[in-house]
Every structure is written in C-alpha cells, then in structure tokens.
Structure 1
Amino acid sequence: MMSDFWIILTGALVASACGFLGCFLILRRMAMLGDAISHAILPGIVIAFLLSGSRASLPMLLGAAAFGLITTFMIQSLSQNGVQADAAISVTFTALFSIGVILVSIFTRQVDLDLDCVLYGEIAYVPWDTLEIFGVDLGPRAVWGVSGAFLISFILITLFYKQFKICSFDPAMAAAIGIPVTLFHYLLMGMVSVTTVASFESVGAILVVAMLIVPAATAYLLTDRLSIMLMLSVVVGILSSIGGYLSARQLDVSIAGCMTVMAAILFALAFLFSPKHGVITRWWIRRQLRIQLFEKNNSV
C-alpha cells in the first residue's frame, strides 16, 4: 500500500513540476523545446558518468543541466542567424542526442546505463530506490529529486513572476522597460533542464515531453489568466497521476504510459468542453443563438 502512495506521489510531482514550467513554454510558442532538451541532455548524462564514475543523481543533474543550457544557446544562436526556429530545434536536438547514443555505445558497454531506462523509465521501481542519510531511510530518491526541482522552479517563478509573465507575453515590451529578457530565457531553460533530468529515473525522457506540454495545454484551454493556468496545470498533473495509476493496475500495463494517456484524455475533454474554447461548447452556444434568433424573428 505504501508503494502505491510513493508511485502516485512521484507521478504527481513529475506531472506538476513539468506542467508548471510547460505553461511558459506554451505561451512562448516553444513547446517542442522541451522535447529538444529532454533528448539533447543525454550526452551530458554520459559525460557526467564518465567523469564521476558514478550514477549518483548530483553529477547526472549537473551534466544534464549544462547540456540543457548548451542546447538552448545553440538553438537561440541558430535562430538569430537566419535558421527557422523549428529547423534550429530539430538540428540541435537530433545532433546532440545522436552524440549521446554514440557515447553510450562506445564507453558504457560494460555498464548498466541502458538507453531504454533513459528513454522510458520505470516508475514502478521508485519505492525501492530510497535515499538514506546516516542510516535513516528518507523515502524514494525520485520524490526528493523531483520535489527539489519543483521547489526551485516555484521559488524562482514566485520571486520573478512579473518578469517571466511579461517576457512570455511581450518580449519586446519587457526589453523596452529594462527587463533582461535573455537572462530570464536562460533561467527558464535551466529550470526545464533540471526538472527534466530529475524526472528521468521515474518516467524517462519521452514521457517527460508529454508531461511538459499536455497538462499545460489543458490548462491553457480552461483559462485566460496565467496565475490560474499555473494552478490548473498542477491539478491536471495530479489527476493524471492518480487516474493513470489506477488504470495501469486494472489493465496491468505501463504506469507512466497510462499517466500520459490520462493526461491526454483530460486534454481531449478540455478541447471539447472548455467553457470558452471548447469545440462542443462553441457549437452549443452558436446553436442556442440561432434558436433565439429564429424564435425572435417568428415572434415578430
């Protein structure tokens, strides 16, 4: 029973931490940048392992964060020098990810550093990989890692909420009033990098991409206010975690996969029934207006 709690908590933290930052990626029209970073940091993980000789979380986190910032810098540089934004993202992340695959193949053949683990993860093992300090079991490492990344993001965004908000909606105005747009851009990308690698051990890189975008996209359909959007993305992430885990137990399938599918189902519901942007909601409003107009014309 306790293992169920840890799995659900880890999934909720991953979805919440990723969705929280995903709101800003969506507003900046940089949704695929999360995909780029989640793949491009693989060389950083491998290099960190080669330098430290350990799979400890801290070296991996530092290596991944460094390559996340390198990825962002490369994409930004290409975009500013005539390359289309989507092309810059594609070129950068495929090149760096391929380098990471080659490094894994060459240097880690005799080491349990599996690409499947990096890409897909396994959240079911989270309760048994615990953190111990002075012989005291403090619970799963993944919970501490993801919650730490979430806390850092929450503190930074709370402290600089106005700056992040203006930079996301109108970078030109932010620069005009003296906000260092580039600094906050790289700060956001650094938080995305740290959150991504902290989530690796539980859900893997591919599913992190879904959690970065789907809860935030769902929240975007439900509100036009950034503060509420941030809160809704966390709520959607938690609901995805709980619903996905319960579904996975019933179907005996991948837990992380079911959590992502549940997030997609919530997105589909928002897409159809959102109060302002829902497809069915807008159709119903138009239908009611036509009925009222018809009745009004007949009464005259």
Structure 2
Amino acid sequence: MDAFWIILTGSLVAVSCALLGSFLILRKMSMVGDAISHSVLPGIVIAFFIAGSMQSIWMLVGAGILGILTTFLIEFFHQKGRLQTDASIGVTFTWLFALGVILVTYYAGNAHIDQDCILHGEIAYVPIDLMYDSQGNPIGPKAVIILSFVLVLILAFIFLFYKELFITTFDASFASAIGLNTSRWHYALMGLVSLTTVASFESVGAILVVALLIAPAASAYLITTQLKTMLILSSGFGILSSFLGYWLSYLLDGSIAGAMVTVSGFIFAVCYVIVRIKK
C-alpha cells in the first residue's frame, strides 16, 4: 500500500509539472521552476516566525507570496532592466535564496526547517503523513489530497483558457494586437507554477519538482509539434518516470526521488535517439 501512495504522489506531481512545463518549454522559461523552488525559502522562514510551526497554512501562504514575487521580479528585470530572461532568473533566485539561507542560519537554527528540508524532501514519508477529519479519523495522505486539488485546478485552467494560453505562448504580439493581456496570462501561468512548486516541495522536494517540470515536457517536445499531443505525452512520460523510478529505487535500495529523476532523464535520452535516427 505504501508503494501505491508513493507512486500516486509522484504521478500527481509529474502530471501537474508536465502540463505546466510544456508551456514553460515553449515560452523558453523552463528554469523559472528552479528559480521559484529556491526563492520560496525566505517566505517559508518568515511564515514560520509568524505561525511558530511548520504544520501551518501560513507556510504555504508565505512560500506562495515569494513565488509570485519571484515571477514578478524576473519579468520586471527582463522588461524594465532589459536583461535577458536567463539573467533575470539567475539574479532573482540567487539573492532570494541567499536571503533565505541567512534567515535559516541565524533565526531558525533550532527549528526543523533548513535548505535540505525544502530542496530534497522525502517522498517515502508520504504514506505516514496523514490528513484527518474533524472527528480525528484519517482520510488519506496529506500530500495526495493537496496535490490532487492542485492538479484539478491546473486541468481546469488549461481546459477553460486553452485558446488564450495557446495564442500568448506562440505569438505574444498577435495576442496583444487582438486585445489579450499577455502579462495577465503570463502571471496566471507563473502563479500556477509557484503553487505547484510550493504544494510539492514538502513531500517530494523542490529538486524533483524542477526535474519533472522540464524533462517530461522536453521529451515530448522532441517528438511532436502539436501542443495537445505534447501535453498528453509529457503527462504520460511523467507518470512513467514515477512508476519506473519507484521500482528502480526499490531494486537499488536508493533514493526514490533520485531514481525518478534518473528515469525521466533516460526517457529524454531515448526520445532524443529516436528522433535522431528518424532524421
């Protein structure tokens, strides 16, 4: 049963990340997820100061606010500071992450909160970290419930606003010409990336989230030119990475997250070889 919950959690994260990652790849902003995963650290620490506990909604709120701030600063430096996108990402997440490290080192040293906790996580603990109803009865792993809600939100967003996302992704100039607010859709998409990263980091770790944001979508990008097909393929690759990654870690008695990332990299390599052979 533990294997089921772990694979399900990995699959929920993988599909959420693959769907959003497809748009990030097409917008040439794939490393935004990496930036957000690092820069949320000061928000988590500040929220810990306010709530005094890691088990608090304030933790998600604090991390979410910093995630949105990160996307705003990246866009601000790119548009107003005339920096290239990659430079904007690098400047923003490094100084926010450094600020978080300083806050952890000097003000939260005695608490169960540190860089390793945020970045690495431990998906193996998912089956024992339960959510309870008002009567004190367990209703399921907390990560599964939260990530299911996040995935439903992402699916609804893409389904309802597919046309707007399609146009603003492939031709921002045309989107502006027909009256679409490209900035609004940009921040909406980045807000979902932030939400997914924040909702996932405690259970699976930010490093796994970053890998699943990029690798499955990049694999699908190699073998199709259709957005809908890319969304479906990337989701399938993400689920396959979670399933095979778990059993690989079981056979090797190693890190589950590390094995999932390894499998996603192997899938990318296979897709690359297939594409090269066809050419």
- The question of a shared fold, defined as TM-score above 0.5 by the shorter chain, is answered with yes
Counterpart residue number, 1:297: none
Counterpart residue number, 2:128: 128
Counterparts of 1:84 and 1:5, CA distance in 2: 43
Counterpart residue number, 2:176: 175
Q: Deviations over 1:34-84 (max 9, x none)?
A: 111111111111111111222135222211111111111111111112222
Counterpart residue number, 2:116: 116
Counterparts of 1:228 and 1:94, CA distance in 2: 35
Q: Does 1:220 align with 2:221?
A: yes
Residue from 272, 276, 279 that aligns with 2:276: 279
- For the structure 1 residues 57 and 155, does the alpha-carbon distance in structure 2 shift closer, same or farther, using more than 3 Å as the test? farther
Counterpart residue number, 2:76: 77
Counterpart residue number, 1:289: none
Counterpart residue number, 1:62: 61
Q: Does 1:3 align with 2:11?
A: no
Counterparts of 2:166 and 2:49, CA distance in 1: 39
Aligned partner of 1:130: which letter? L
Please give the residue correspondences for 1:38-53 in structure 2 after superposition, counting only pairs within 5 Å: 38-53=37-52
Residue 139 of structure 1 aligns to a residue whose secondary structure is strand
Q: Which runs of 4+ in 1 moved over 2 A?
A: none
Aligned partner of 2:31: which letter? M
Counterpart residue number, 2:186: 185
Please give the residue correspondences for 1:7-18 in structure 2 after superposition, counting only pairs within 5 Å: 7-18=6-17
Aligned partner of 1:188: which letter? L
Counterpart residue number, 2:270: 269
Counterpart residue number, 1:251: 252
- For the structure 1 residues 57 and 213, does the alpha-carbon distance in structure 2 shift closer, same or farther, using more than 3 Å as the test? farther
Q: Which has the larger radius of gyration?
A: 1
Q: Does 1:158 align with 2:159?
A: yes
Counterparts of 1:56 and 1:152, CA distance in 2: 23
Residue identity over aligned pairs, in percent, reads: 53
Please give the residue correspondences for 1:188-203 in structure 2 after superposition, counting only pairs within 5 Å: 188-203=189-204
Counterparts of 1:201 and 1:64, CA distance in 2: 11
For structure 1, which segment, 159-168 or 107-116, has the greater mean C-alpha deviation from structure 2 after superposition? 107-116
Counterparts of 2:167 and 2:59, CA distance in 1: 33
Q: Does 1:92 align with 2:100?
A: no
For structure 1, which segment, 205-214 or 185-194, has the greater mean C-alpha deviation from structure 2 after superposition? 205-214
Q: How many residues align?
A: 277
Counterparts of 2:121 and 2:56, CA distance in 1: 15
TM-score, with normalisation over the residues of structure 2?
0.97
Residue 131 of structure 1 aligns to a residue whose secondary structure is strand
For structure 1, which segment, 187-196 or 130-139, has the greater mean C-alpha deviation from structure 2 after superposition? 130-139
Aligned partner of 1:50: which letter? F
- In structure 1, stretches of 5+ residues that fail to align are 283-300
Counterpart residue number, 2:22: 23
For structure 1, which segment, 3-12 or 39-48, has the greater mean C-alpha deviation from structure 2 after superposition? 39-48
Counterparts of 1:271 and 1:174, CA distance in 2: 32
Residue 112 of structure 2 aligns to a residue whose secondary structure is coil
Counterparts of 1:126 and 1:116, CA distance in 2: 17
- In structure 2, stretches of 5+ residues that fail to align are none
Counterparts of 1:211 and 1:33, CA distance in 2: 13
Counterparts of 2:56 and 2:26, CA distance in 1: 31
What's the C-alpha RMSD, in Å, of the aligned pairs? 1.1
Q: Deviations over 1:246-289 (max 9, x none)?
A: 1000000000110011011111111111xxxx11221xxxxxxx
Counterpart residue number, 2:103: 103
